Structure 1
Amino acid sequence: MRLSDDVLLDVMARFQAEMVKGLGRDTNPTATVKMLPSFVRSLPDGSEKGDFLAVDLGGSQFRAHQVKVFDDGKQSSQLESKFYPTPKEPDSVLSFLMQLFDYVADCLLDFMETKNLKHKKLPLGFTFSFPCKQNKLEEGVLLAWTKHFKVRGVQDTDVVSSLRKALQKHKDIDVNVLALVNDTVGTMMTCGYDDQRCEVGLIIGTGTNACYMEEMRHIDLVEGDEGRMCINTEWGAPLEQESG
């Protein structure tokens, strides 16, 4: 399919109007593009260093990562990953979140045993590829399942709290969940580590979505006008809902 320039300009104008609505406190409820604040305020600046863990839960795969960032003046890093099957939906709606995050915690334990990391206290970043309303970096309330997850009745749950509860069942590991990010935000931050000109994260996979750095003065959803914040557009979710 080939679209004319006039059609593309019309799509752009309509999309931009929905983005502006999504950023407004009063207009957000009726916006089709929800423009969720991520509470990520800046890109990496090259001063980062240390050992980190990350778990990445998406619509088609689940991964655990160990990330080493070196303080060698070259902004170098090392990534080791392990893939796990995506958890399937259980029959019981009420037990879904418990089973999901128990599975994530079990996989992380397996990964830490494989990498001989159980004796270390490490910070953890949690990439969660489903729309969440965040009031701070380490908190996110699930708004809706997308992609192939269609379980109802488990929204309005803080996914970070659920993950922490699951991790606490494993007394032999010590992990501190420091940040929750959408997969688009994680993509932008990873690319931004290598090139600070990167200010957009784009995912085209099981679903599609994008994030970008926005001026705080344009964001009515959070307090403050100074600086910038990364916005998770969630542009793919309404398209999927309409097609279903």
Structure 2
Amino acid sequence: MRFSDETLHDIKCRFRRELENGLGRDTNTTATVKMLPTFVRSIPDGSEKGDFLALDLGGSNFRILRVKVTQDKKQPVQMESLVYETPEDIIHGSGTQLFDHVAECLGDFMEKQKIKDKKLPVGFTFSFPCAQTKLDEAVLVTWTKKFKVSGVEGMDVVKLLNKAIKKRGDYEADIMAVVNDTTGTMMTCGFDDQRCEVGIIIGTGTNACYMEELRHIDLVEGDEGRMCINTEWGAFGDDGSLEDLRTEFDREIDRGSLNPGKQLFEKMASGMFMGELVRLILVKMAKEGLLFEGRITPELLTKGKIETKHVSAIEKSKEGLTKCKEILTRLGVEPSQEDCVAVQHVCTIVSFRSANLIAATLGGILTRLKDNKGVARLRTTVGIDGSMYKMHPQYARRLHKTVRRLVPDSDVRFLLSESGSAKGAAMVTAVAYRLADQTSLTTLCTASLTSWTTWA
């Protein structure tokens, strides 16, 4: 699990090839990294304004926000939000149940905000791979993470949500934009730093987006300007291109997952699987007599008993070994001091591998941006969100350090998304409003000029 810089550069190059395959018309159908066009054409420029709703569906909690964007320099964005639980039976239920639940939560939020009589523009953060042909249409390609809802794959999620809202009949909503959580993160950070052109999530799952030149996106008409591409890099390696780097523990994780053979990079790097990777390693070490004097308890053999939050706690510099002893004792193991040091070392290796893998794939995106711009040195900002990046005591530092080694000819600012990706969905909607206004104004001016010329 410990990679040399030579190996990381090799992963970076492999990922660059995957990016290009996903962008090509002839190679996209067989590409594992799907490079989905988002139809987000611009990051915020600071002139956006309006009153918007934002929905954020992607995990066990469903979040709704009201976002007011003004030209007030002291407080340009005002937000109010509520979090609703998404029960397990809905996560594994039918599409009708899921979108009825979303519509019910939205109705409750609008009631509490006293805006049921208004038809506000809505931005929808939907954190799953979707094929889009326009901003307000998103066909689900496949469920990821813990979701397995029937009757949604291959369907337009906007139509499903509109149907659920219409069935209720007690309010209206104008869903203007569907965005992935990575796009939402980039747009949230882009409001604060207009140089932001990459968004990354490192949490339960992992993914990235970036601003690609339109001339390189074969699946979309036009050559002028740029468009945000949702890479869906979690599927990197699904074609076997990472087989030489996967371990027996990665293979065991995959065999026991909801989607064997899929999202292999995500299973190596994301928070959802990190604790389980550590547990599998500890079980093997105990079986070989290297830990706990060979004692193996039923708890240690139970899937999910070591969580990613435990890995973070064990890696804290001061109280890490104490936390390690507490966690192992709860698993029925009576660890020695040497056991605790060894377990802490295992946690470090597993989480460090994750940071290195993410650094390598991000390095592939950054070198592509540099080549696209034709500059000697890249200056850019990467917006980041996700529990692994935020909560793990060493993760961010390790990631930054490795990226700077892999892409030395760059000045990269890492910007933490404080408001989550849902605010970004509102920003996408606000930008769409701004661009629509500009288009209307241009059309009006052109029509007026044509009329004047004809009259003259």
Fold shared per TM-score above 0.5: yes
> 1:144 is matched by which residue type in structure 2?
T
* Identity score, percent: 66
SS at match of 1:157: coil
Mapping of residues 22-33 of structure 1, within 5 Å:
22-33=22-33
Residues 1-244 of structure 1 aligned to structure 2 (within 5 Å): 1-73=1-73, 76-89=76-89, 96-151=94-149, 154-238=152-236, 241=262, 243=264
Distance 1:67 1:169 in 2: 26
Displacement of 1:206 after TM fit? 1.5
Greater per-residue helix proportion: 2
Matched to 1:41, the amino acid is R
1:140–1:116 CA distance, 2 compared to 1 (3 A): same
Where relative contact order (Cα < 8 A, 6+ residues apart) is larger, the structure is 1
Check whether the contact 1:146–1:237 (CA below 8 A) recurs between aligned residues.
no
**Cα distance, 1:120–1:22 mapped onto 2, change above 3 Å:** same
CA distance in 1 between counterparts of 2:202 and 2:92 reads: 31
The answer to whether the Cα contact below 8 Å between 1:50 and 1:70 also exists between their aligned partners in 2 is: yes
Structure 2 residue runs without a partner (length 5+): 238-258, 268-456
- Tell me, yes or no, if the aligned pair for 2:95 and 2:150 is still in contact at 8 Å: no
Summarize the Cα distance change of 1:187–1:173 in structure 2 as closer, same or farther, 3 Å threshold.
same
TM-superposed deviation, 1:59:
2.5
Asked if the contact 1:97–1:154 (Cα under 8 Å) also holds between the matched residues in 2, the reply is: yes
Distance 1:159 1:77 in 2: 28
Instruction: Give the counterpart letter for 2:187 in structure 1.
Output: M
CA, structure 1 residues 82+162, in 2 after alignment: closer, same or farther (shift >3 Å)?
A: same
Alpha-carbon shift at residue 87 of structure 1 (Å): 3.8
Q: Deviations over 1:5-48 (max 9, x none)?
A: 10010000000000000000110111111100000000011111
Q: Which structure shows the bigger proportion of residues in strand conformation?
A: 1
Superposed displacement of residue 74, structure 1: 5.6
Aligned residue for 2:188, secondary structure, equals helix
Cα 1:116–1:90, aligned 2, differ >3 Å: closer, same or farther?
closer
Structure 2 distance, partners of 1:48, 1:91, is 35
Superposition deviation, residue 242 in structure 1: 5.2
Cα 1:198–1:32 change in 2 (3 A) is same
Q: Is the 8 A contact 2:99 2:161 kept in 1?
A: yes
How far, CA to CA, are the matches of 1:108 and 1:13 in structure 2? 44
Change in 2 beyond 3 A, CA 1:121/1:145: same
What residue identity is the alignment partner of 1:21?
Answer: N
Deviations 1:159-198 (A, max 9, x none): 0010111111232212100000001001111110111011
How far apart in 1 are the matches of 2:36 and 2:101?
27
**Do 1:87 and 1:103's aligned partners in 2 also have CA atoms closer than 8 Å?**
no
CA distance in 2, matches of 1:189, 1:242: 25
After superposition, the C-alpha distances for 1:142-165 in whole angstroms (9 at most, x for unaligned) are 110000013455311000010111
Cα distance change on mapping 1:102 and 1:152 into 2, 3 Å: closer
SS in 2 for 1:78: strand
Secondary structure of the corresponding residue to residue 64 of structure 1: strand
SS in 1 for 2:120: strand
Instruction: Give the whole-Å Cα distance in 2 for the aligned partners of 1:233 and 1:242.
Output: 13
The one-letter amino acid paired with 1:181 is V
**Per the alignment, do residues 91 and 149 of structure 1 end up closer, same or farther by CA in structure 2, a change over 3 Å counting?**
closer
State the alpha-carbon separation in 1 of the partners of residues 44 and 170 from structure 2: 32
Separation (CA, whole Å) in 2 of partners of 1:81 and 1:75: 17
Count of matched residue positions in the alignment of Structure 1 and Structure 2:
242
Aligned mates of 1:132, 1:125 — CA distance in 2 = 15
Q: TM-score, normalising length from structure 2?
A: 0.51
Q: Cα–Cα, structure 1 residues 33 and 114, in superposed 2: closer, same or farther, change >3 Å?
A: same
CA distance in 1, matches of 2:87, 2:45: 35
Would you say the 8 A contact 1:46–1:75 is kept in 2? no
Higher deviation after alignment, 120-129 or 82-91: 82-91
CA, structure 1 residues 127+29, in 2 after alignment: closer, same or farther (shift >3 Å)? same
Q: CA RMSD in A?
A: 1.9
**CA shift for structure 1 position 131:** 0.5
Residue identity in the other structure for 1:18: E
SS at match of 2:160: helix
More moved, 105-114 vs 163-172: 163-172
Maintained 8 Å contact 2:138/2:156: yes
- Return the letter of the residue paired with 2:26: D
1:190 to 1:92, Cα distance in 2 relative to 1, 3 A = closer
The 2-side partners of 1:11 and 1:162 are apart by 39
